[in-house]
Homo-oligomer: A and B are copies of this chain.
Amino acid sequence: MDSIKNRRTIRKYTEQDIPADLLDSLLEESFRASTMGNMQLYSVVVTRDPEMKAKLAPAHFNQPMVTSAPVVLTFCADYNRFSLWCRQRKAEPGYDNFMSFINAASDTLLVTQNFCTLAEASGLGICYLGTTIYDPARIIQILNLPKLVMPVATITVGYPDEHPDQPDRLPLRAIVHEETYKDYTPAMIDDIYAYKEALPENKHFVEINHTETLAQIFTDIRYTKSDNESMSANLIEVIKKQGF
């Protein structure tokens, strides 16, 4: 499927809006993804209003796509709707727990990826914002998410106004294991990461960051232990606060 094979994340969009009909049909088709027990444990909040985008932006570290994309979609794990239905049907829901959060988040991420595939096949470009779970309390407040609803992914979407190079990927042998997981020897690690490390853009990246290795950019600058630890504590707290 060429639209998957040739995809690249798009962070710059033209002024062209996304017709409501098109967005609706992409979302509706995306909901065909596998879902646990056909419970459809997700909701999607559509942001088009510039004021709402401006409010959301800080939760996403002010990445410019949030305000410049015609549409921002927040995909939420949602056990609220299903639990309301249960209560209205003399059934006592038992979904206020971690397992149910993971089940709903899984449903949600399958739909998120399905939406991205469909959007890209229609000529749209998307950017996946991993920041959604960095400061979820702020998003919850802005989007008015009730208990048992938790944002897990944000997608900015619009018509592409750039055509960036396709980023590298690790070779297949780095990811796929036959029958059992074969742990990596030092030689395998060298082999697997050689291409990535030799890329001019990554060598440049190391230079401008004044690190000794590419890996240090990840551990010391981009995804540090202390950030991860404070965000872990926060994320667990918010998941619990949302009633899971």
Q: Which of A69-123 contact B (CB under 8 A)?
A: 76, 80-82, 84-86, 88-95, 97-100, 102-103, 105-106, 109-110, 112-114, 116-118, 121
Contact of A99 among B82, B84, B214, B235 (CB under 8 A): B235
How many residues of chain A have a CB within 8 Å of chain B?
A: 112
| Chain B contacts for A90, CB-based, 8 A | 212-213, 215-216
CB of A208 within 8 A of chain B? no
Contact A175-B44, Cβ < 8 Å, known A4-B29, A85-B215: yes
Assuming the A-B contacts A106-B130, A117-B4, A172-B24, are A52 and B179 also in contact, with contact meaning beta carbons closer than 8 angstroms in the complex?
A: yes
- Which 8 interchain pairs have the tightest Cβ spacing? A94-B225, A91-B215, A34-B128, A89-B215, A113-B113, A109-B109, A89-B213, A98-B232
CA separation between A146 and B1, bound complex, in Å?
33
Complex CA gap A170/B32 in Å reads: 10
Evaluate contact between B178 and A28: CB separation under 8 angstroms: no
A residues at B contact (CB < 8 Å): 1, 4-5, 7, 9, 24, 27-34, 36-40, 42-49, 52, 76, 80-82, 84-86, 88-95, 97-100, 102-103, 105-106, 109-110, 112-114, 116-118, 121, 126-128, 130, 133, 142-146, 149, 152-153, 167-170, 172, 174-181, 183-184, 186, 189-190, 192-193, 212-216, 218-220, 222-226, 228-229, 231-232, 235-236
- Across-interface contacts of A42 in B (CB, < 8 A): 175
Bound CA–CA A181/B49 (angstroms): 14
> Could you say which residues of chain B place their CB within 8 Å of the CB of A48?
178-179
Nearest B residue (CB) for A133? B102
Min C-beta distance of A215 to chain B, whole Å = 4
Chain B's nearest CB lies how many Å from the CB of A44?
A: 5
Taking a contact as CB atoms under 8 Å apart, the answer to whether A44 and B176 are in contact is yes
Residues of B within 8 A of A98 (CB): 232, 235-236
Return A96 CB to nearest CB of chain B, in Å.
Answer: 8
